[in-house]
Structure 1
Amino acid sequence: MTLLRTTLLRTRLRLLAILIVLVSGSLVAVGSARAVEVAHFTLANGLEVVVVPDRRTPVVTHMLWYKVGSADEEPGKSGLAHFLEHLMFKGTAKNPFGRFSQVVATLGGQENAFTSTDYTGYFQRIAREQLETVMTFEADRMSGLVLTDANVLPERDVVLEEYNMRVANSPEARLGEQISAALYLNHPYGRPVIGWRPEIEKLNREDALAFYKRHYAPNNAVLVVTGDVSPEEVKALAEKTYGKIDKVVDIKPRLRPQEPTPVAMRQVTLADSRVAQPSLQRSYLVPSYARQQNGEAEALDVLARILGHSSTGRLYRALVVDQKLASSAGAWYQGTALDLTRFGAYATPLPGIGFAELEAALDRVIVDLVKDGVTAEELDRAKTRLIADAVYAQDNQSTLARWYGAALTTGSTVADVLAWPDRIRAVDAERVRAVARAYLDRVRSVTGYLVKELPKVEEKRS
């Protein structure tokens, strides 16, 4: 398999990994169906370690998270965090390019990596007796990465090809970029994780090494191990491998420019001849779990479920079933973020339905909810499904690891994750109505329209 095909395969798997985190969008936690004892400790060099035992199969998931993402890049170097993620597979002096991946594959394991706005992660799923092997490899590349122009510049071309595949060739992704850029006037969440193409083209070895030395350190990382292990085993192995790495003394607080109070609704329209079906997307600026007050994030999670979950959501019932204006409609909340985040709504109009009519109907659903609140039945169903989904998801080791890794790299704690079901149960109808009133305000939003072509402007005759 060629390097390009290998990287593109890794990219597709990475996108799936990110999707699992972002679609749920929020902190999820263990429920009452299966008792899970979570261990949490910190090594002398600052590495946080979380262990979630799961004895059902002799397999472990080893996931190393760094507290750095695209929002931590310097202005003008967008895409650097994601670029370094690619370069972390280039090898070290002890383990040249390809050896880590070859060993994992030979042992029957799986590996991958992902980058988001607030974190970068690397993981392996392997037989329990091989845990020390992958920990040794991962610890080695935490401090021993070797980069040369010979391996950096070709990988930059791979990233540019990934940009073409993921963004340039996807009208939906291009619109998403524009909506984020318009929503975040000041915060670095407004730039895409993969970067702006003109800036990706200028990234080089020196940029990558400086970023690596500044952010990749044990005291800026969280190790999560789930599976057939005990906390005592993991602690001993972590001290044997990661514990030998010195901390970086000048890790700085993650202070980003923050958003001013929104004062004007914004609209963006993207025309692309490849669009087969027009669509409407809207994002509101809202608190994340890390930035909330008094249970706002939990209420936003419940609100998103009531408004937009599949065929039971208010938007789907109103726009698709009752009014027959759209073929799909829904809402979502991306609660896992270090700073202010997004609450989204979307709809795809049926043929012959204009955006004005569709958007007016969407707005009426939100206005009615703010005016009249939610029913007891809606509230109970939403909370029950949120908690049930979290319980069912415990059957996946990788999902368990993602819950804790995403939480600890975005300002939450293990205790927050464990308490999440109880906090969801405590959400009441008035709290849901209050967050809808406060945050689903058009002045806090950007609405994007995806069309095949823009309307022609007629020239005035003299």
Structure 2
Amino acid sequence: MIRPAFGRGPVPILAAFCFLIAAGVADADAKVYEPESIMLDNGMQVVAITDQRVPVVTHMVWYRVGGADEAPGETGLAHFLEHLLFKGTDKVPSGAFSRAVSRNGGQDNAFTGYDYTAYFQTIASDKLPMVMEMEADRMVNLTLDPDEVAAERQVVLEERRSRVDNSPAALLGERTDAALYLNYPYRRPLIGWAHEIEALTRENALAFYRKWYAPNNAILVVAGDITMERLKPLAEKYYGAIPARSVPERIRPAEPEQISARRVELTHPLAGQVSWARRWLAPSRFWGESRHVMPLSVLAEVIGGGSTSRLYKELVIEQKVALSVGAFYGGGTIGPATFGFYGQPADGHTVQDLERAVESELEAILRDGVDPAEVARAVKAMEASAVYARDSVTAPAHSVGRSLAVGRTIDEIESWPEEVGAVTVEQVMEAARAVLRKPGHVTSVLRPKPAS
């Protein structure tokens, strides 16, 4: 499942890239992207992904800090600071960064996740020095006018109202995360609780900025019409001049063993249709049994990865108990990942009908297993999607940057094709039993509120 991300507005990421994350293969690269990497003297990693078909680049700076690194009582601070970084420096006044990018035919944006914060621009390759100079400037020279901070706080509160408070699915998602993660900070809303957003101050933001925003805690990724030969001197000029600073170790609490099932239900007047989901905590690249990550990605594709999947063929086509159904998993997180299923009951069927049908299919899979042909089809679909993502100038920068930001290496990223191609039926079933037989799942149900 994609971990939520919040930014200043819609982030234009290709559908192929979104599929890669949802399938747990956002890390698919090197044989596809072939990134080159160097390290500046100040500890900043620099990555070039060359694709010179069009004279355009995507320039991204990823910071190894996100919503899961906030102190208790400061939910939403990482996202709030992301907004405030567009309020300018002495050299580049508030709003001037985005205006300069727009005047030169480009687009810029930013987003915050639980494990990272990223800023990016897509622009003509001859304008790369301009955006690098401005991005390096705001890495260290942010100035915050108190009035602008107060105004931006209201912008974030309005974003929460529009994207969460007025979205029944988002409200249910917040409550589900709080039930699923007993102790890990993924249980807190990334955008923040409204009452804690209201209490965020200029001093909070600057303290977080000075604590985490440093070149040795950042990764520069440039994809498109670029080579490392050209990028290296530019990176040394603009980012290499920034001194390294002490950055604290990221300390994440342990998640206790989950021994009981939970259920979260929400009835809301804005809900259009009944929906159902069930999810488990699952291993990620850095939490739990990481050897299960790629088999779980394949399992999600086999069980619920589209119209050829087990669940779709059985519940939508054969039994007609579901209007839609699928599975999700994403292992590219620092903390616990989630593996789960979702669906909407078809007309004439209830949530209970859908739930029993999904449970029956899962029992059959755990009892009888999956066959080699299903695994082969899933692997082929995942490999094909990774190749399609190469057609975008943006997707490679997002994919590689995200992987590096959570702690993976270029060598690990490059090994993905061999890793997915080596997944066996036995590994898929071992991973399935390791996750789906655990009792600590959370079931969530969203229901429309009947008219009075």
TM-score w.r.t. length of structure 1:
0.92
Deviation, structure 1 residue 217: 0.5
Equivalence map 1:183-194=2 (5 Å): 183-194=180-191
Q: Distance in 1 between matches of 2:321 and 2:347?
A: 9
Equivalence map 1:411-422=2 (5 Å): 411-422=407-418
Partner-residue secondary structure (3-state), 1:142 = helix
Q: Distance in 2 between matches of 1:189 and 1:9?
A: 17
Q: Is structure 2 residue 316 aligned with structure 1 residue 317?
A: no
Q: Distance in 2 between matches of 1:94 and 1:261?
A: 51
Q: Distance in 1 between matches of 2:324 and 2:444?
A: 16
Q: Distance in 1 between matches of 2:19 and 2:404?
A: 17
Cα pair distance change 1:167/1:175, threshold 3 Å: same
- Alignment correspondent of 2:29: 30
Amino acid at match of 1:83: F
Q: 2:285 aligns with which of 280, 284, 289?
A: 289
Relative contact order (alpha carbons < 8 A, sep ≥ 6): 1 or 2 greater?
Answer: 2
Deviation, structure 1 residue 110: 1.1
Q: 2:356 aligns with which of 338, 355, 360?
A: 360
Aligned-CA RMSD value: 2.0
The alignment of Structure 1 onto Structure 2 pairs a total of residues equal to 445
Cα pair distance change 1:294/1:276, threshold 3 Å: closer
Contact kept in structure 1, 2:13 and 2:394, CA below 8 Å: no
Contact kept in structure 1, 2:260 and 2:439, CA below 8 Å: yes
- Alignment correspondent of 2:367: 371
Deviation, structure 1 residue 22: 4.3
Contact kept in structure 2, 1:217 and 1:247, CA below 8 Å: yes
Deviation, structure 1 residue 138: 0.1
- Alignment correspondent of 2:80: 83
Q: Distance in 1 between matches of 2:437 and 2:69?
A: 29
Contact kept in structure 2, 1:60 and 1:226, CA below 8 Å: yes
101-110 vs 351-360, greater mean Cα deviation: 351-360
Deviation, structure 1 residue 282: 1.5
Equivalence map 1:334-413=2 (5 Å): 334-413=330-409
Q: Is structure 2 residue 11 aligned with structure 1 residue 13?
A: yes
Q: Distance in 1 between matches of 2:290 and 2:164?
A: 38
Q: Distance in 1 between matches of 2:250 and 2:196?
A: 22
Q: Distance in 2 between matches of 1:268 and 1:154?
A: 35
- Alignment correspondent of 2:136: 139
Deviation, structure 1 residue 233: 1.3
Contact kept in structure 2, 1:29 and 1:418, CA below 8 Å: yes
Deviation, structure 1 residue 19: 5.2
- Alignment correspondent of 2:45: 48
Contact kept in structure 2, 1:26 and 1:333, CA below 8 Å: no
Contact kept in structure 2, 1:14 and 1:113, CA below 8 Å: no
Partner-residue secondary structure (3-state), 2:317 = helix
Q: 2:209 aligns with which of 204, 212, 234?
A: 212
Amino acid at match of 2:284: S
Deviation, structure 1 residue 148: 2.0
Q: 2:197 aligns with which of 192, 200, 203?
A: 200
Contact kept in structure 2, 1:370 and 1:437, CA below 8 Å: yes
1:228-278 deviations in whole A, cap 9, x for unaligned? 1110211110110011111111x1221211211111111101110222211
Deviation, structure 1 residue 174: 0.8
Structure 1's unaligned 5+ residue stretches are 1-7, 455-462
Cα pair distance change 1:31/1:219, threshold 3 Å: closer
Deviation, structure 1 residue 401: 0.6
Q: Is structure 2 residue 214 aligned with structure 1 residue 230?
A: no
Deviation, structure 1 residue 14: 6.6
Contact kept in structure 2, 1:295 and 1:423, CA below 8 Å: no
Q: Distance in 1 between matches of 2:101 and 2:445?
A: 44
TM-score w.r.t. length of structure 2:
0.94
284-293 vs 317-326, greater mean Cα deviation: 284-293
Contact kept in structure 1, 2:282 and 2:338, CA below 8 Å: yes
Cα pair distance change 1:195/1:15, threshold 3 Å: farther
Q: Distance in 2 between matches of 1:263 and 1:293?
A: 18
Structure 2's unaligned 5+ residue stretches are 1-5
Deviation, structure 1 residue 351: 2.9
- Alignment correspondent of 1:268: 264
283-292 vs 411-420, greater mean Cα deviation: 283-292
Amino acid at match of 2:221: V
